[in-house]
Structure 1
Amino acid sequence: MNNLFFFDFNKKMIFLLMIAFYGVVSAQTCTPYTGQAMVSGNTYCIDGNYTTVSGVTIPNGATLIVKSGQFQVSGIQVMGDLEIGDGASVKSNGSIQIGTFGSQQNSKVKLGTKSFLSLTGSVTQGDPTFGGLYPGTTAVIEMGTSSVVEICGTFTQQSTTYPSVEYVGIPTGKAYCIAKADVSGGGGASIISDDSQIVAIAMGSVTGLGMGNASFCGPNATSATCPSLWPAGLSNDKTSCGNAPTIIDDMDAFCTKAGTTGTPDGFTKFGITIQQKNNAWPENVPNGFVAMEAKDKGFVITRVQHVSQTPQPGDAIADPKEGMLLYDLQDKCVKLYNGTAWKCVERSCNN
């Protein structure tokens, strides 16, 4: 009797384990996307280059992941999630709709590191909150480190209670959101991004949309109007589309400039050291004001919790002065105040 009970118990346990295993496997299944209609609750994947001449609709609850390569498509309706993996890309000769107005359903386009979304058409963000009447859902573009969104048509943002572009990369990185035609928003408190790592470039007009805390160049932006923000590889020609891959390739290409040669015009008169002082030091250090040296000590500058790119009430520094340096604990970078904005100190060209 006991043996029979044990056998019956084992059968039930095995059956339950099989169900659990099947559930886990099913949850992790990624169906190869080959142009079929997508179904809510399913995840579809593209691994390698794939082109379709028709438009694509990602329904609410469905996810399309471009793991690698380039996905070329005529147009996209994103009611669910579109994820573009690290180094992958989506190129469209049409437009993209992200979210549906009043749907109360989340929608998202997420770009990984060095990925891009390039469209010859427009981008329209549909606000699922019905203008804020039903808060709790969003339609957003999440941008990873060194990613690029290139919109050669218009950009329209409906949301007024939350930004449509968010940065999800490393704190010291950046991402480019570029609109080559006109940009419009819902007015009022409508802003494109609250993240300073988002470099928003508007090459056309801008109406009804603030830039928030984004690093902004526009309206009618050119390389001459904002040289410090303009990415290498971006053409000044508004009709030139497809610059995104060049921008990404050039993002890590740093220029260098040879040091100045010749006779120094001065020498350092003041020094701080915890080592055995050399008689010639610090006078043998050219063109300095203060010299400091140590073999096992670091130089710690002022550390504060946070300062916004554009100074705001509540920032750690209430009255910043041009040339001020500090370390921002939240953004994890050394920042310099240039007289109008706090900027993370980054390696770049100095020519």
Structure 2
Amino acid sequence: MFGLLRKNKPVKIRCCNENRKFGVAAKDVKDLLKKGSKLLQLPLPGAHVCMYADGTKVTEEFFLSLPDNTELVLLSKDQTWSGVVCDIGQLLNTDRHADGLIEAAKGLLSDEQSPKMRKILTDLLQNLEDRSELESREEDEDWFKGVDTRFKTKSAYMKFNCENRIRGYMKEVEEATKSMKKPKVRSELLKASSCLGEMLKTARYNGCYFDRTEKEPHRLCTQEGWFTCQGPFDQELCQSLHSINPYGSRESRILFSTWNLDHRIEKKRSIIPALVESLQNHKSTDVNLNYFYRLLFTRENLKLVHIVCHKKGAHNLLCDTKKIFKQASNTDQGKQKVKGKKRRLV
């Protein structure tokens, strides 16, 4: 009697070699096999059904506990199914063109509910869309969507991208100069800022860091364009092994903009205040501007980090007080000793 009162359960069913799904309402597995075999034109003897996500065989008891619209796979006697990974395997074993594979992967991703499988499909899609071997605008027009037309190659744009970030750090030094109220200190800070600007200009704003055409000691990426996260400011390495190739696709290029060139010794909390403090009672010529330049604009103090590894709290790292001012030369030190002896004689 209870069997007669049982309501039909709506599920989605498909074959193992097709992505197209059909809605079927069945009261039990036997009913589902009967309706599914007819719909998908599979032989009923030996047919069985399993979960699309992980390949678990669906029994009568298990069927009753399934949520509505669960995705299932109907298999003939000799067929097996290990879960969505089978779809990925079949996808990679086809002879489709790369664009066809991308579309197929996107189709799978649009329906996939499992977080782990979505991660696998997303990584697969990213690799399928990789066009890092292409360099010019003519070769990869999609990569350049939204990029100013004056940039004809990926490397030229990436170099500009890095230069723009470094210029931003220089602007913060200039802003500190504008906010300085003491005329003498402001004057010396202007001189220091001008000197730092000239040094940066000579180095071409260190755009080489993002330019894969530069030589290995100068660039932060591989020759193919892969960047690796260098980990939080207080760690030697990235524990999550974050990596990205912004040369590979437009999506990766946009995502790379969320990565940070993070100052280990912070520019706002430590470097700029230390520079201002050093000029309170000294001239800019007394200050070791090379040291401040390296802290503000070079890899000596900059780390490329994934947004997850970018710690926004105080770093609690200070400038080295022994390096803030220029070291007196041996001649100057000798003169000071002579003056000291003359004073003692008097």
Normalising by the residue count of structure 2, what TM-score does the alignment of the two structures yield? 0.24
The structure number with the bigger radius of gyration is: 2
Looking at secondary structure, tell me which structure has more strand per residue.
1
Instruction: Identify the structure with bigger relative contact order (alpha carbons < 8 Å, sequence gap 6+).
Output: 2
